[in-house]
Amino acid sequence: MTVGLLVFLVYGTSQRGKSRFVFYATLAIGAAGLFFVWMPEQANDLAYLLGVGRGADLILYCWILTSLIMALNLHVLIRENQQVTTELARQLALAHPLKSLEQINQTFIPGTAIECGADEIRRISGSGAEA
């Protein structure tokens, strides 16, 4: 259990640049976990004070809380990856403004079709945009 909590603390330390909330929460919960593992009688005393009843129950609740924080951290990481993807897509779009139907066709997702009215598509030929 001590090893597991130490790994958890290392994980929390590695998150310090990504989310301050996750960093401090992981440190606090990991340190508390180590304290209770090394001094289980204190866990019983604290659990009694908090009205939980047993130290084991208190630790279980803390573990659930820890899991929720880790899930939240994963959400934050996914969000950061989305921001990278967004910036990449944005730079691609900005670098290649589309000014002809041929260019649009080249960027279409395979398997999809242009469903604009035929008259409008014919009007595209040779036209540019002003902006």
Interface residue with another protein, options 49, 51, 109, 126 (CB under 8 A): 109
Residue with tokens 């993807």: 85
Closest to another protein by CB, 37 vs 72, is 72
Contact stretch for another protein (CB under 8 A) within 27-35, 40-48, 56-64, 106-114? 106-114
Q: Do the beta carbons of residue 46 and residue 100 sit within 8 Å?
A: no
What's the token pair of residue 99?
């000014």
CB of 118 to another protein, least distance (A): 10
In Å, how far are 89, 96, 117, 119, 121 from 114, measured between CA atoms?
A: 21, 19, 9, 13, 9
State how far the Cα of 121 lies from the Cα of 110, in Å rounded to an integer: 19
Point out which residues bind another protein (CB under 8 A).
Answer: 18-22, 72, 75-76, 79-80, 82-83, 85-86, 89-90, 92-94, 96-101, 104, 107-109, 112-117, 120-121, 123-124, 127, 129-131
